Structures are given as structure tokens and as C-alpha cells.
Structure 1
Amino acid sequence: MSLPAQLPLDLGHRTAMGCEDFLVAPSNADAVAWLDRWPSWPAPALTVYGPAGCGKSHLGHVWRARSQAPIANGATLDAVDLPELLAIANAVVVEDADKVAGKPAREEALFHLYNLAREQGGHLLLLSRKAPSRWRAKLADLRSRIKGAPAVEVHAPDDALLAAVLVKLFADRQLRPGLEVISYLLTRMERSLDAARSVVAALDHASLAAHRRVTVPLAREVLAGFERHKEEEHGSGNRRPPRARLRG
């Protein structure tokens, strides 16, 4: 793969208050535009959905920094004092919001939280792997509320975004690998922002431990280590994938 020398500079740059810098790219630009419209959303809720590692949670933290909203989780929403939760900032981030589907108590909790937000002029940012149309919630009133609110997809990061994220993560650690290292990683690592963070952290550790620069040979060793870890976990019967995987 030939990597343009100025590729990382081709993307917009968004500073997240209290969070690491956020890079705006075609894969997330629509979601960023919707967050920029807050609080002028047409409904009390906005759903941001996309695959694991696409940056949904980071977007949630960007919005949280602006709104001061607390973060809840769909898997435990039925165990939360909803009026107290919403009272903190009249806004709430709900991660894994699709996990309410099929669980009556959780569905009732999200329905109640939505209604409270509507009554009080508040807002909910719902983060989900699935589009609301695929949640298969059994509570008809909840389905109608969520489907009637806007939803925006965040796509898996493309090469341009992954390259820019890798460059930034390395820079955060005072590392300046050559573009050949970025190109090498792009063709072999899992296409997710979580994997990028794991790979850069492992390379930083390996570089310090061996007193070596971050080069393609070192990147090859680190990725091979991830692959061995994956094989060992599978061999022991643990099917949980490692945080970064080789591609191809």
C-alpha cells in the first residue's frame, strides 16, 4: 500500500474536552454533525450506531464533555434511579442501548427515561451496535419512540482515519515512526480504533523494553505476539478474541 505523506493532515481535527483528540472523517462526519446540532435535535433522543471499535463511545464522551451528561448502560438501566440520573444534567448517554431489547424491565426503563426527557426538555444519546430498526424491542411504545427519533450510523474506520489515529496515538507517546510502519500496520491489524490503541501501546512497551525504535521489524514482532496470544486463548478453550488481531 502506498501511503500519501500528508494523509494524516487531510482529516478534520476535533478536540474533545477532557478526552483525547477526536478525528473527524467521512466514516463519522454525519454523527459529528448531529452532535453539533444539539440541543436543537428534533426529538428527545439521538441514536448513534455502528460496529465495535468504530468510535461510538468516543463520540459519547465528546458529547458528554459538552452536555455534562452522566453515562448509563442499557444492560443495567432497570437498576438505575432514572429521575435522579436525568436530573444531573437533563441529558444522559446510554451505552449499549440495544441491550434493553427483549428484556421487559430494561425496555420499560428506557421508555420511562425517554418520556422523562421529553417532559423536561432533556436529551438522550443512545449508543448501539445495531440500528434502532433492528433492536426487536417487544414494547410497542418504546419501538415507536426510538424509531421516530433520528439515528445516524458511524462506519468502520477507513485507511485514512486509521492512519491518522495511529499517527496521533504514536505522537501522544512521543513516538514518530516512519510512514512505512503505518502502512505495514494498516494492512495487517484489525480495522478498529480499539485495536489501534492496543497495537500502539504494545509497540511503545516493546520499544522501551528493547531500547529500539518503532520500525517495521518491531511491528512485525508485536503483531506476531498478538497472533500467538489469540492462538493460545483458542487452544485453552477461551473464545474471546484478543484486543488486536492480524488481518489476512
Structure 2
Amino acid sequence: MNAPAQIPLDLGHRTAMGCEDFLVASSNADAVAWLDRWPSWPAPALTVYGPVGCGKTHLGHVWRARSRAVIASGETLDHADLPGLLAVSNAVVVEDADKVAGKPAREEALFHLYNLAREQGGHLLLLSRKAPSRWRARLADLRSRIKGAPAVEVEAPDDALLAAVLVKLFSDRQLRPGQEVITYLLTRMERSLDAARRVVAALDHASLAAHRRVTVPLAREVLAALDEHTGDTSHGSGNRRSARARLRGEQGAG
């Protein structure tokens, strides 16, 4: 008689966000170099921009650890105590900073926060999906401030970085899959660090539930389940292999 499937307990696994956990690669090296220059930035703000899952948030946490910065959100900045944000350490990370654009109250808030930082010798790290030149902010003074500050792009991760991240995420969960699993995932998963976290979490869950090692067959099942759950919408055409390449891979994996 088969043993019943184990019900995995959600113990709230937390992805490490420290400096020692950040992997430097060609896709993020320029941003890392700019953060290393702090506090000798040429302006009160630095914008780090790039696609979802490229590692901007992790970079923000690395800088926060160094600067003791407060975390704020562009979506709620108009409700924030702006002087209070800078009162702790004179440094603020503004996540989703591009989401102030087109919202007059939010634009005014970021403009005043920038001015406060400049007056007090503080700094803002603005995290954004878009380059500042594409924010389309209506407030001319804000456009002038942000465009006059340095901005650096973090690109989507390449194979080398994704492979290293997968190995690290598996290691964080005390999993040691073979290289064939890493190779299989690289040719089929969405090209983002967020996707890597989702895939590893799903594989960990499936491995515990079925009492199975993390192997290519299990990875195939998990990816199929994730695709079915999302309707395959998470695999944008710009971030995935072609359907033909994936089919060839499936045939080669047997």
C-alpha cells in the first residue's frame, strides 16, 4: 500500500537578502558599482531600473543594509511623513518609484523628498521598471531633478546568473539537485529571478509532498503545473525560449 502524500508545512521560508547573498554578473555589475560609490554620488538620488525579477529589490536591500535606509513605496509616497523618512538615517529606498508618474500628489511628494534629501545631504535610491526618461511625469521640476541624477540599468539575468541563483535557492532549502536539473530549468523557465524563486519553491513543495528527489521528471511535472496554473501567461515572448526549442528539449530529455 502506498504511503499517503506528506502535507508540507509552510514554515515561511525567507529568501536571504544580504550583501553576501547577492550574485554579481554582467547584467548587474554597473548598478553594483554605483552602489559601491555611495555616498559619493554626484546627485542626491540614483535610479536603478530594469524588468521585473532582475534583482532591483535585492540591490535595494543591500544598500539599505549599508546606509540604514528607510523603505518607502512610490504608490503611497503622497501619504508618507517625508521628513520622517529621512529622520532615521538620511537615506530612503523608494520602490516602484516610476509609479508616481501621472499622479500629481505622488509627483509632488517625490519632488519634495528629493529637495529635502538635497538640503540635508541625504540620498534616495529609486527603484523602477522604467528608465527615468520614460516616466512621463507631469511635474516639470520633478522631471528635471530625476533626469539630472544618474540612472543605471539592471538587465534580465543571463544563463550564468540564473544557474547560480537556482543553485543558491536550492541550497537555501537544503536541496542538492544534479546539474541536469539546472540545465533543464534554464531552457524552459521564465528568464527572471522571481521565476527562479517560484520554481524552486514549487519543486521544494512537490518534493516534500511526494517524498521524491528533485529530478528532471519532477521538474517537468512542476513546470507543467505552473504553466497550467498561470495559463502560460508568465512566460512572456521576450523572456522564454521558443515553443519549438522547448519541444526539442522535451524530446531530448525523454
Same fold (TM over 0.5): yes
Q: In the TM superposition, what is the alpha-carbon distance from 1:88 to its structure 2 partner?
A: 1.2
- Matched with 2:10 is none
Maintained 8 Å contact 2:191/2:240: no
1:34-73 counterparts in 2 under 5 A? 34-73=34-73
Counterpart for residue 149 of structure 2: 149
Do the aligned residues in 2 keep the contact of 1:101 with 1:137 (CA within 8 Å)?
Answer: yes
Question: Identity of paired residues, percent?
Answer: 85
SS class of match (2:168):
helix
Q: 1:212 to 1:130 in 2, by over 3 A?
A: same
User: How big is the shift at 1:211?
Assistant: 1.2
- Structure 1 contact 223–246 (Cα < 8 Å) conserved: no
| CA drift at 1:128 | 0.3
Q: How far, CA to CA, are the matches of 1:113 and 1:122 in structure 2? A: 10
Q: How many positions carry a matched residue from both structures?
A: 224
Deviations 1:154-183 (A, max 9, x none): 000010100000001111111111111001
What's 2:22 paired with?
22
- Residue in 1 that maps onto 2:182: 182
Task: Give the match for residue 118 of structure 1.
Answer: 118
Equivalents in 1 of 2:53, 2:170: separation in Å? 18
CA distance 1:72–1:201, change in 2 (3 Å): same
The answer on whether the counterparts of 1:98 and 1:130 sit within 8 Å (CA) in structure 2 is yes
Q: Which amino acid aligns with 1:152?
A: V
Q: After superposition, what is the alpha-carbon deviation per residue over 1:68-104, rounded to whole angstroms, capped at 9, x for unaligned?
A: 1111111110000100111111000000000111111
1:219 pairs with 2:219:
yes
**CA-atom RMSD in angstroms:** 1.8
How big is each residue's C-alpha offset from its partner over 1:118-138, in whole Å with a ceiling of 9 and x where there is no partner? 000000000000000011111
Residue 109 of structure 1 corresponds to which residue in structure 2?
109
Task: Give, as a single letter, the amino acid of the residue that structure 2 aligns with 1:53.
Answer: G
Match of 1:93 in 2: 93
Amino acid at match of 1:184: Y
In structure 2, C-alpha distance between the alignment counterparts of 1:166 and 1:65, rounded to whole Å: 24
TM-score (norm 2): 0.85
Once residues 154 and 171 of structure 1 are traced to their aligned partners in structure 2, the CA distance between those partners, rounded to angstroms, is 25
Would you identify which runs of 4 or more consecutive aligned residues in structure 1 move more than 3 Å?
Answer: 245-248
Letter in 2 for 1:155: E
| Change in CA separation of 1:246 and 1:30 when aligned onto 2, cut-off 3 Å | closer
Task: Report the counterpart of residue 84 of structure 2 in structure 1.
Answer: 84
Aligned partner of residue 23 in structure 1, secondary structure: coil
Trace 1:201-212 onto structure 2 (pairs within 5 A): 201-212=201-212
CA distance in 2, matches of 1:210, 1:241: 25
Hey, what does 1:129 align to over in structure 2? Answer: 129
Change (3 A) 1:205 1:213: same
SS in 1 for 2:191: coil
Counterpart residue number, 1:74: 74
Shift in Å, 1:16: 5.3
Unpaired stretches in structure 1, ≥5 consecutive residues: 1-14, 235-239
Shift of 1:20: 7.2
Tell me which residue corresponds to 2:159.
Answer: 159
User: Any idea what the Cα deviations from partners look like across 1:199-227, whole Å, max 9, x if unmatched?
Assistant: 00111111111111110000000001001
AA in 1 matched with 2:32: V
In structure 2, stretches of 5+ residues that fail to align are 1-15, 244-254
User: Take 1:112 and 1:131, find their aligned partners in 2: how far apart are those partners?
Assistant: 20
